[in-house]
Amino acid sequence: MKLLETLLNGLSSGSTYAMIALGYTMVYGIAKMLNFAHGDVIMVGGYTLYVSAVMMGIHPLLALLLAIICCAVLGVTIEKLAYKPLRGASPLAVLITAIGMSYLLQSVAQMIFGSADRMVRLFDLGRITVGSMQISTYTIITLACSAVIMAGLSLFVKYTRIGRAMIAVSEDKDAAQLMGINVNFIITITFAIGSALAAFAGFFMVLKSPPVNSTLGAMPGIKAFTAAVIGGIGSIPGAMLGGILMGIVESFAQTNPVIAPFTVAIEFSILIVILLVRPSGILGKKRREKV
Amino acid sequence: MAETVLKIENLGISFGGLKAVQGLNMEIREKELYGLVGPNGAGKTTVFNMITGVYKPTTGKFYLCGEDLTGKSQETINHKGIARTFQNIRLFNNMTVVRNVMVGLHNQPEYKCGLFTSMLRLPRHFKVEKKMREHAKQILEVVGLLEERNNLACNLPYGKQRKLEIARALATNPKLLCLDEPAAGMNPHETQELMDIIRLIREKFNVTILLIEHDMKFVSGLCDEITVLNFGTVLAQGDTKTALQDPEVVKAYIGG
Amino acid sequence: MSKLKNIKWKQYIVYLVLVAVACYFGVFGLQQNLNRSTTILLEKAAVAMILAVSLNLVVGFLGELSLGHAGFMCVGAYLGAKTALALTAAMGPGNELLVLVICLLVGGVAAAACGVIIGLPALRLRGDYLAIVTLAFGEIVRSLFENLPDEMFGGSLGQQSVRYDRYQLFIIGFVLVILTLAVLQNLIRSKHGRAVTSIRDSEIAARACGINVTKYKLLVFTVSAFFAGIAGVLFSFTQNKVQPTTFDYNYSIEILVMVVLGGMGSLNGSLIAAVLITYLNEELQIVLTGDLAVLRGLLYALVMILLIIYRNAPALKGFREKWNMKRFIDRMRKHDPAKIHDDEAKWDRVPTKIMVDEVLSVDIQTSSPYTPDKRKKEED
- Residue range C254-279, pLDDT digits in tens: 898 888 888 878 899 899 999 998 99
Cα A107 to Cα A214, C127, C209, distances in angstroms: 8, 28, 48
Q: Is residue A280 part of a domain?
A: no
pLDDT higher than threshold 60 for residue C377: no
Query: Mean pLDDT in chain A?
Result: 87
Q: How far is A291 from chain B (nearest CA, A)?
A: 7
Mean pLDDT of B182-211: 89
pLDDT, chain C, mean: 80
Q: What is the pLDDT of residue C352?
A: 35
A86 is in which domain, residue-wise? 2-216
Task: Flag whether residue B58 sits within 8 Å of chain C, measured between CB atoms.
Answer: yes
What pLDDT sits at residue B28? 92
Domain B1-81+174-256 has CATH 3.40.50.300: yes
pLDDT of B61: 92
pLDDT score recorded for residue C347? 37
As a residue count, chain A comes to: 291
Q: What is the pLDDT of residue B209?
A: 94
pLDDT score of A196 more than 50: yes
Does position C357 have pLDDT exceeding 80, yes or no? no
Query: Which residue, A248, A245, A206, is CA-closest to A227?
Result: A245
Angle between helices C191-201 and C169-188 (to 10 degrees): 70
Confidence of residue C53 (pLDDT cuts 50, 70, 90): very high
Q: Is the pLDDT of residue B130 over 80?
A: yes
CA distance B152 to chain C (A): 7
pLDDT at C236 over 90: yes
pLDDT at B85: 93
CB-based contact C370 B15, cutoff 8 Å: yes
Among A217-221, C345-349, C356-360, the least confident range:
C356-360
pLDDT at A64 over 70: yes
The band of C330, judged by pLDDT with boundaries at 50, 70 and 90, is low
Give the pLDDT score at C370.
34
- Cα–Cα distance for residue pair C267/C262, rounded to 1 Å: 8
To the nearest whole angstrom, how far is the Cα of A290 from the nearest Cα of chain B?
A: 10
Q: What is the mean pLDDT of residues C349-357?
A: 35
Number of separate helices (H) and strands (E) present in chain A: 11, 4
Distance, CA of A41 to CA of C222 (rounded, Å):
36
Q: How many CB pairs under 8 A join B and C?
A: 139
Chain B residue with minimal CA distance to A290?
B88
**A197 contacts A216 by C-beta, under 8 angstroms:** no
What pLDDT was estimated at residue B1?
56
CB atoms within 10 A of CB A172: 13
pLDDT exceeds cutoff 80 at C47? yes
Say which residue, C340 or B43, is predicted with more confidence. Answer: B43
The answer to whether C124 contacts chain A (CB < 8 Å) is: yes
Which of C69-73, C76-80, C93-97 comes out lowest in average pLDDT? C93-97
pLDDT at C13 over 50: yes
| pTM of the complete model | 0.85
Scanning C138-167 for CB atoms below 8 A from A yields 139-140, 143-144, 146-147
Instruction: Answer whether residue C351 shows pLDDT above 50.
Output: no
pLDDT of residue C334: 57
**DSSP code per residue over B14-52:** EETTEEEEEEEEEEEETT-EEEEE-STTSSHHHHHHHHT
Residues 49-108 of B with CB under 8 A from A: 49, 54, 86, 88
ipTM attached to this prediction: 0.89
Select from C305, C352, C363 the Cβ nearest to the Cβ of A97.
C305
Residue B88: its chain A contacts at CB < 8 A? 290
Q: Is B228 helix (H, G, I), strand (E, B) or coil?
A: strand
B98-125 pLDDT tens trace: 999 999 999 988 888 888 888 888 889 8
The answer as to whether A226 is a domain residue is no
Domain ranges of chain B: 1-81+174-256, 92-172
Residue A262 inside a domain? The answer is: no
The answer to whether residue A97 is domain-embedded is yes
What pLDDT, on the 0 to 100 scale, is given for residue A210? 86
The chain C residue lying nearest A234, using CA atoms, is C360
- Is the model more confident about B251 or about B57? B57
Which of A78, A186, A190, A272 would you mutate first to test chain C, the one with the most C CBs within 10 A?
A272
Q: Which chains border A (3 or more CB–CB pairs < 8 Å)?
A: B, C
Whether residue C2 lies within 8 A of chain A, CB to CB, comes out as no
In angstroms, the separation between the Cα of residue C252 and the nearest Cα of chain A is 11
Q: Which C residues, 288 through 317, put their C-beta within 8 Å of a C-beta on chain A?
A: 291, 294-295, 297-298, 300-302, 304-305, 308-309, 311-316
Residue of B nearest to C181 (CA): B119
Q: Which residues of C touch B84 (CB under 8 A)?
A: 208
Residue A49: pLDDT band (50, 70, 90) is very high
In a domain, A260, yes or no: no
Q: What's the gap in Å between the CA of C309 and the closest CA on chain A?
A: 6
Q: Which residues contact C375 (CB under 8 A, 6 or more apart)?
A: none
Cα angle value B72/B73/B76 (rounded, 5°): 85
Asked if C298 lies within 8 A of A108 by C-beta distance, the reply is yes
Say if A258 falls within a structural domain: no
Residue C345's pLDDT band, with cuts at 50, 70 and 90, is very low
The verdict on B88 touching C (C-beta cutoff 8 Å) is no
Section C324-342 average pLDDT:
56
Q: What is the mean pLDDT of residues C87-98?
A: 83
pLDDT over 70, % of chain B: 98
